[in-house]
Structure formats: C-alpha cells, structure tokens
Amino acid sequence: MPTTQSAAKTKAADLAILGGSPAFSEPLHVGRPNVGDWNRFLARVNDLWERRWFTNNGPYVREFEGKLAHFLGVKHCIPVCNGTVAMELAIRALGLSGEVIVPSFTFIATAHALQWQEITPVFCDIDRSSHNLDPKRVEQMITPRTTGIVGVHLWGRPCDVEALSALARRHHLKLLYDAAHAFGCTCRGTMLGNFGEAEVFSFHATKFFNTFEGGAVATNDDTLASKIRLMKNFGFQGYDNVIYIGTNGKMTEISAAMGLTGLENLEESISVNRRNYCAYKRGLGDLPGLEMITYDEGERSNFQYVALEVDEGAAGIGRDQLLALLHAENVLARRYFFPGCHRMEPYRSLFPHAGLLLPETERLARRILSLPNGASVGAADIETICSLIRFAVEHGGDIRRELATRDASRPSQDTSLHG
C-alpha cells in the first residue's frame, strides 16, 4: 500500500515537529521485512502442513542448509533458530573463555553472547573510515586471558580479515566473525562466511534476507560443524543417544520455507537496495556535514544499510535534532548503535571507564543515522526524505531558533532530543 505524502516544506513552521502536517501518513521504517513470492511460499506451507513435519531437521531445513552452503561457497552453513543462538553456539563450540576482544559499536547481542557464558567482552575501538575493528587497537587489548577475537562486518562491509587473521595466528587466538549485516557480501571476491574459524549470520525479520526469525553458522571446519550440529539439538547423535551438552537451537520448517522463498528473490532484493542507496546518494551527496557510508564497487554488497554521519558543526543541525525532525514526519530513522555496548548494562557498571579507550566509537555513536531502505521504500519516498533532510540542513539556524522559542514557551516539556 503506497504511503501518502503531504506537500513539500517551504518554511520551518511547515515541519511536523513545529506543528505542520507529517510528510508521511504512515510510519516508514528502517528495516520493514522483505518478502518473496507469496504463491511459492504458500505452496511450501501447504506441503509442510500435509507432511506434519514442523521441526527437528525436516526436509526444508536440510534443503535450506544445502542451498546456503552452495550460495556462500562454504563447506557448512548450519541454520539455527536465531542469530544470537548462532553466536552463542559458535562461541561455545570454539571453547572461548576468559576474555574475548569485540567492538562496542555493534548490536548488544554480540557482547551478550559472550557475557551470557561468563566470558568477558573486552571492548576495542574501531577504525574511523571502515567502522570495523581497528587491528592495531586489537593488538593493544590482548592479555594473557585473551582467547579470541570477534570481528563485526558492520553495514556488510568486511573487516580487515587479513590483519585480524595474522593477529590471531601470531597470538594463538580463535577468530570469529559476526556477519549479521553481511549475507551476500564479499571480501576480495570471496563470500563472507569463509573467514576465521566461523562466521555467524542473522536472518531476523529486519534483515534484507530473512526467515521470519533465524540465523546460521558458516564454517569450513568439519569438526567444528559437527560439534555445532550436536549442540543445536541437545547433543543428540541419533535416536536416544546424547553424546554432548547442547541446547535447542533448531530452525523450524516454516522458517526454512521462508528462507528458501527469499533465496529465490535474493538478487531482486539486492537490486532494490542498490537502487535506493544510489537515489539517497544523489539526493544527499552534496550536502555539507553529511557523509554517507560507501560500498566498494569492486565487491559484492547487499546495500542493506543507508547510513550517514552527521557533523553538527558543518551541517548546522545535530544528529539527534535531525532524528527528532524525521520522526515527527513519520520517517523512523535509527541511531545505530547508540550509545555503544559499553554504555549499556551490565557493561557500563562493570567497565565504567571503557569509553576512555573508545574515542572513535564514541564519536561515531554521536553521529550515525540510518535511513529507511528495502522493498517497501519507493523512489518518491526517498525523494521526500532527502528533501526533508536538505531542508533541515539549509534552514538549520531557523529550525533551531523555532525549536528554542517553542521550548521556552513550554518549559515543562522534555526537550532532550533537541540538543
């Protein structure tokens, strides 16, 4: 259903945050789920309904596993119930303990998957240009208690896998990647999923490729794959034969059916993301103080994330002011990954001074803004979003004055979003 849009904004008072009509009549989300062909999905649902085989490594899960491995060019890609459990399984199967180095600029599940197993996440700073782990900083964080490194391919852009691999070999550490953003992306022509001891994917509904809810562990290590397969099914090897400790990490048949349907539509989803990304780049590329993340044209990317850094001094408006302005217009942009894992519990209590070692993380957390993308976002929507952002930058001074006047007349209102 198309999203209704209001007339263009010509003065600050037209903005919804200042009393005008919202640009969109319905919320426009950053990650509204993509869906494949309904008839193909329904045929699979009818089939599994007739079979009455809903879980426990059914035929759709097995088919999905094979097609995932083939697509990634990896020996094993094991589907599980969600990305967090996939990460927990990989961490446990690798025998990580003590301390593991991880970025703070990531979704909280990356750190929680370690802490949940009483492993200390040691937060490391990121590289300013890539937003990924800075290998030089990683080496500085290694202690005798360090057993591993978890890199995060943020925005689907690969970590410096060569430098991290060299570090891991030199210090005898395990290397695991959180590839939740990176399904369908490459590094030097090789699909992500083939690096480190293992890589973990998320197929959550907000990802451009989803299985309603799900995840997977990819690895080229036969022994590790066998261990993870045991662990995701309570340690069962065959009927009534438990040989290892495990949990319930199985993917359901209906999730696998959704995944198989999505795989058939994968290239179209990526093409839509790329089209939208390019439209945003045309609409925002020349604005001062706004810098969109870029993708390496020499690599395959999924273009899922349209994120930009807002430099308040150059743009004339702050990130949080712009966020509040867009939300009022029903554009539900997001602050990824604000305020950083180290500023969330339990980590801010456990490591109250961690931010002193994370200047780039703190800088990016104050600046990054992610915009709506995916099949539910059309060219006219992007044109309107870009016009709102352009108006905000070009009239930043007027907007700030209007907000200040409004806030002064309503002193009891919480104006924390307006700087």
Nearest 5°: CA angle at 285, between 284 and 290?
A: 75
Nearest-angstrom CA–CA distance, 261 and 246: 30
pLDDT one-digit tens code per residue, 345-363: 999 999 999 999 999 999 9
pTM over 0.85? The answer is yes
pLDDT one-digit tens code per residue, 375-396: 999 999 999 999 999 999 999 8
Q: Are 317 and 214 found together in one domain?
A: no
Nearest Cα neighbor of 315 from 352, 267, 369 is 369
Q: Which residues of the chain are modeled with pLDDT < 50?
A: 1, 415-419
Nearest Cα neighbor of 28 from 373, 417, 387 is 373
Q: Are 83 and 217 found together in one domain?
A: yes
Nearest-angstrom CA–CA distance, 146 and 144: 6
Q: Are 282 and 203 found together in one domain?
A: no
Question: Which of 204, 229, 264 corresponds to the end of one domain?
Answer: 264
Nearest-angstrom CA–CA distance, 217 and 236: 18
CB atoms within 10 A of CB 275: 16
The residues facing 55 across adjacent strands are: none
Q: Are 364 and 384 found together in one domain?
A: yes
Q: In angstroms, how far is CA 257 from the centroid of its own chain?
A: 23
Question: Which of 240, 264, 288 corresponds to the end of one domain?
Answer: 264
Residue 236 lies in a domain: yes
> In this predicted structure, what is the pLDDT of residue 416?
44
* Cis? peptide before 79, omega within 30° of 0: no
How much helix, strand and coil, in percent to the nearest 5, is found in the chain? 45, 15, 40
Q: Are 168 and 278 found together in one domain?
A: no
CATH code of the domain in which 388 resides: 3.90.1150.10
Q: In sequence order, what are the residues at sequence separation of 6 or more whose Cβ sits closer than 8 angstroms to the Cβ of residue 352?
A: none
Nearest Cα neighbor of 97 from 138, 27, 53, 144 is 144
Q: In sequence order, what are the residues at sequence separation of 6 or more whose Cβ sits closer than 8 angstroms to the Cβ of residue 356?
A: none
Residue 7 lies in a domain: no
> In this predicted structure, what is the pLDDT of residue 187?
98
Q: Are 219 and 152 found together in one domain?
A: yes
Domain span at residue 325 reads: 266-412
| DSSP one-letter string for 130-141 | T-SB-HHHHHHH
Q: Are 215 and 322 found together in one domain?
A: no
Residue 25 lies in a domain: no
> In this predicted structure, what is the pLDDT of residue 1?
46
| DSSP one-letter string for 211-243 | -SS-EEEEES-HHHHHHHHHHTBTTB-STT-B-
The domain total for the chain is 2
Q: Are 211 and 315 found together in one domain?
A: no
Residue 171 lies in a domain: yes
> In this predicted structure, what is the pLDDT of residue 3?
62
Residue 5 lies in a domain: no
Q: Are 209 and 290 found together in one domain?
A: no
CATH code of the domain in which 221 resides: 3.40.640.10
> In this predicted structure, what is the pLDDT of residue 42?
98
Residue 20 lies in a domain: no
| DSSP one-letter string for 156-185 | GPPP-HHHHHHHHHHHT-EEEEE-TT-TT-
Residue 28 lies in a domain: no
> In this predicted structure, what is the pLDDT of residue 170?
98
Residue 142 lies in a domain: yes
> In this predicted structure, what is the pLDDT of residue 418?
38
Q: Are 405 and 352 found together in one domain?
A: yes
Q: Are 245 and 314 found together in one domain?
A: no
Q: Are 142 and 252 found together in one domain?
A: yes
Question: Which of 264, 292, 319 corresponds to the end of one domain?
Answer: 264
Length of the chain: 419
- For the beta sheet containing 99-103, the strands, ordered from the edge strand earlier in sequence to the opposite edge, are 76-80, 215-219, 198-202, 174-178, 146-152, 99-103, 120-124
